[in-house]
Amino acid sequence: MSFSLKILGCSSATPTTWAFPSAQVLNMEERFFLIDCGEGTQVQLRKHNIRFSKINHIFISHLHGDHFFGLVGLLSSFHLLDRKKDIHIYSPKGLKEAIITQFRITNTYLSYYIHFHELSTSEPQVIVDDKKLVVKAIPLKHRIETYGYLFQEKLKERKLNVEQLEKYKVEICDYRNIKLGKDYLTDSGQLIDNSDLTFDPPKALSYAYCSDTAFEPKLFEWVKHIDLLYHESTFLDDKITLAKKTGHSTAKQAAAVAKNAKVGKLILGHFSARYKNRTLFLDEALEVFDNVELSEEGRVFSIKN
């Protein structure tokens, strides 16, 4: 099992000739989750050969334009492509009104149904829970209501040790319980520990998206030990006062979150266009945390067991 994360846009505020605002796609076993949808997202989806029909869940962090201005166009394109399958959109309150108003004014009717899930929580909250994964909304610290999203794979069943099963003459009808972690009682009354009959399953993988946010120590616990963290780094440390004023983070602050949360890898993004050399963000973050990479439009990050 593996996750792969495709960066579609990682610039803050406005698109430029060389950068797109926030958008990315998380691929989990060919299930595609769109996270934020800045201007130009559907162009990026086409450019990177991501089929529109595979996107059934969209997660919007907050209602600043660089995170959702591409959404109404994408939803319209879904209709023009004769989409029939429902779509689920998760966001702070207000997005439904913004989308429905635009469709009403333009006399647009959709060929599919949108489920709007409007969030309101001060603690991490489960918003998706299915057989394979759990998604939590994480409240962030920005100028308006903002959420990050934590994607956590569910632990798979244990793997059977066939040789040991044969040794203890375990019946096939007991395999299911053993895969679920239960011990086995032989006909002679001997209790066989489950660890003697199975192998550990692959590690459950996890990814968190945190944009936009000021430095937030609560994240140390909320994203603790995850495999991959995307954390905004709008500014360098020379603009730390501006970061605090605008509800953003610096590269060093993002790295401090990664270090204190003991994450596997940190990805920096949401760069201010005032900086032409993005490697400066990497240099600053590496002073604090040793496994850091930079977002870049089109770049793929893989998370593997």
Burial of 213 (0-12, 13-18, 19+ CB in 10 A): buried
Assess contact for 135 and 128: CB atoms under 8 A: yes
pLDDT of residue 175: 86
Closest CA to 196 of 231, 158, 151: 158
pLDDT of residue 2: 65
Sequential pLDDT tens for the chain (305 residues):
568 999 999 999 888 888 899 999 999 888 999 999 999 999 999 999 999 999 999 999 999 999 999 999 999 999 999 999 999 999 999 999 999 999 999 999 999 999 999 999 999 999 999 989 999 999 999 999 999 999 999 988 888 888 888 888 888 888 888 888 899 888 888 888 988 888 888 889 999 999 999 999 999 999 999 999 999 999 999 999 999 999 999 999 999 999 999 999 999 999 999 998 999 999 999 999 999 999 999 999 998 87
**pTM score:** 0.92
> The domain 2-156+202-304 is classified under which CATH number: 3.40.980.20, 3.40.50.720, 2.30.110.10, 3.60.15.10?
3.60.15.10
pLDDT of residue 185: 87
pLDDT of residue 127: 98
DSSP string, the chain: -EEEEEEEE-BSSS--SS--BSEEEEEETTEEEEEEE-TTHHHHHHHTT--GGGEEEEE---SSGGGTTTHHHHHHHHHHTT--S-EEEEEETTHHHHHHHHHHHTT---SS-EEEEEE--SS-EEEEE-SSEEEEEEE--SSS--EEEEEEEPPPPPEE-HHHHHHTT--GGGHHHHHTT--EE-TTSPEEPGGGTEEPPPPPPEEEEE-S----TTHHHHTTT-SEEEEE--B-GGGHHHHHHHT--BHHHHHHHHHHHT-SEEEEE-B-TT-S-THHHHHHHHTT-SSEEE--TT-EEEEE-
Q: Which residue bears the tokens 């020379």?
A: 238
Catalytic, out of 66, 129, 196, 200? 66
| Whether 66 is catalytic | yes
CATH 3.60.15.10 domain position(s) in the chain = 2-156+202-304
Q: Two tokens at 240?
A: 């730390």
* Residue 258 one-letter amino acid: A
All residues at 6 or more sequence positions from 58 whose CB lies less than 8 Å from its CB, including other chains: 33, 34, 35, 37, 71, 87, 88, 89, 90
All residues at 6 or more sequence positions from 16 whose CB lies less than 8 Å from its CB, including other chains: 273
Question: Residue 137's beta-bridge partner residues?
Answer: 125, 149
Q: Two tokens at 189?
A: 């009354």
pLDDT of residue 1: 54
